[in-house]
């Protein structure tokens, strides 16, 4: 496996390795502080980022390398240079590329035309590095035995919903996504992909439109912003109205198990997708999740550059 372009690229054993290494990097950030010595990692983002950028730059520094941050229109891509040519040039300078942008196909094209590992730092369709941070955090809460547990995401059927389904499928989990359906349903291809993985791993995939049924008995209640980066502003009013019943409030949390945790990839909008009471309350693990963005990106860089991930063969 050269690149991490999609959550579905990872096998179960890859995820196990990455989660274990991330847990080590959480305790000892400088455990492998010469792994990228004298090497550079390019981080190219055409969308804003707080966590993924900081996590990526810090992870590279902890591995002894030098991050090179490139913002959106800094590159000649904006003046018509092709993605393929850009990929070949970056491959001559850097040991890996972390890319955040809109179209998944652009990330796929970068991967196909680079000789270095390319890591998806979020697209409109997927967010693989986030899900690794989420699952380290889930393991800190519940350990490795997740039998009998239900993992629920409620809200917009966006990149996070897709990644939630896919990673839950890889982990063999009972995974639930509840959205208003219609325009806000998860992409059918992403659901079908998760179901295909689930058929091999024994995971259960439920796609619902009832937030209460989704929350009932869940060990995790996860949500994300209702307006993602790039969503059309003229759809805001209609979208927020459709999503209002999916807000994570104390009432919805009340349907979960007594040891349930609240998760959110952040940034959050208190009073929209989640109440302040919940996100700032005792069951919220959001700061630990944000912390693990660094430990997991560090683990991904470490193992991908060494060629130690096998990739999903499903």
Site residues, ligand NVA (CB under 6 A): 122, 158-160, 224-225, 228-229, 265
CB contact at 8 A, 5 and 107: yes
Is residue 256 within 8 A of residue 215, CB to CB? The reply is yes
Single out the segment in contact with ligand CP by CB under 6 A; choices: 102-110, 145-153, 196-204, 262-270.
262-270
Q: Which of 33, 49, 201, 204 binds ligand CP (CB under 6 A)?
A: 49
Q: From the candidates 100, 162, 264, 283, give the one annotated as an active-site residue.
A: 100
- Please pick, among 14, 224, 264, 298, the residue that the annotation labels catalytic: 224
Whether 113 and 94 have beta carbons less than 8 Å apart is answered as: no
Least separation in angstroms between CB 314 and ligand CP = 26
Among positions 18, 19, 265, 305, the unique one binding ligand CP when judged by CB under 6 A = 265
The residues, any chain, with a CB within 8 Å of residue 47's CB and separated by 6 or more, are 72, 100, 101, 102, 122, 229, 230
Question: Is residue 100 annotated as a catalytic residue, yes or no?
Answer: yes
Of the candidates 265, 294, 298, 303, the residue annotated as catalytic is 265
Q: Is 293 a catalytic residue?
A: yes
210 a catalytic residue: no
Q: How many residues does the chain have?
A: 314
CB of 31 to ligand NVA, least distance (A): 27
Q: Pick from 130, 152, 158, 295: which binds ligand CP (CB under 6 A)?
A: 130
Task: Please name every residue paired with 61 in a beta bridge, in sequence order, or none if there are none.
Answer: none
Q: What's the rounded Cα separation, in Å, for the pair 234 and 239?
A: 9
Contact by Cβ (8 Å): 247, 180: no
**Cα separation of 296 and 288, whole Å?**
12
Q: Pick one of ligand NVA, ligand CP, none as the site partner of residue 50 (Cβ within 5 to 8 A by kind).
A: ligand CP
Burial class (CB in 10 A: 0-12, 13-18, 19+), 47: middle
Active-site amino acid positions: 100, 127, 130, 224, 265, 293
Which residues lie near ligand CP (CB under 6 A)? 49-52, 122, 130, 265-267
């Amino acid at each position: 496996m050269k690149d991490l372009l999609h959550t579905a690229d990872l096998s179960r054993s890859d995820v196990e390795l990455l989660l274990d290494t991330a847990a080590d990097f959480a305790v000892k950030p400088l455990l492998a502080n010469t792994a990228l010595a004298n090497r550079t990692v390019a981080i190219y983002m055409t969308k804003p980022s707080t966590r993924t950028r900081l996590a990526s730059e810090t992870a590279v520094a902890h591995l002894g390398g030098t991050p090179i941050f490139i913002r959106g229109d800094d590159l000649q891509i904006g003046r018509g240079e092709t993605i393929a040519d850009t990929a070949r040039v970056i491959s001559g300078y850097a040991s890996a590329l972390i890319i955040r942008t809109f179209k998944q196909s652009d990330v796929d094209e970068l991967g196909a035309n680079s000789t270095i590992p390319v890591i998806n730092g979020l697209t409109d369709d997927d967010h693989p590095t986030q899900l690794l941070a989420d699952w380290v955090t889930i393991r800190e809460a519940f350990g490795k035995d997740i039998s009998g547990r239900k993992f629920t995401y409620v809200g917009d059927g966006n990149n996070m919903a897709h990644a939630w389904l896919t990673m839950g499928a890889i982990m063999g989990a009972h995974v639930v996504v509840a959205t208003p359906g219609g325009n806000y349903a998860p992409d059918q291809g992403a659901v079908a992909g998760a179901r295909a993985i689930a058929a091999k791993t024994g995971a259960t995939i439920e796609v619902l439109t009832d937030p209460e049924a989704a929350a009932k008995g869940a060990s995790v209640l996860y949500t994300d912003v209702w307006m993602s980066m790039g969503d059309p502003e003229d759809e805001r009013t209609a979208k927020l109205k459709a999503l209002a019943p999916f807000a994570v409030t104390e009432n919805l949390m009340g349907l979960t198990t007594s040891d349930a945790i609240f998760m959110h990839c952040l940034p959050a909008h208190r009073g929209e997708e989640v109440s302040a009471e919940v996100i700032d309350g005792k069951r919220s693990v959001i700061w630990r999740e944000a912390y693990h963005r660094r430990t997991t990106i560090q683990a991904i860089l470490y193992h991908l550059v060494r060629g130690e991930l096998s990739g999903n063969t499903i």
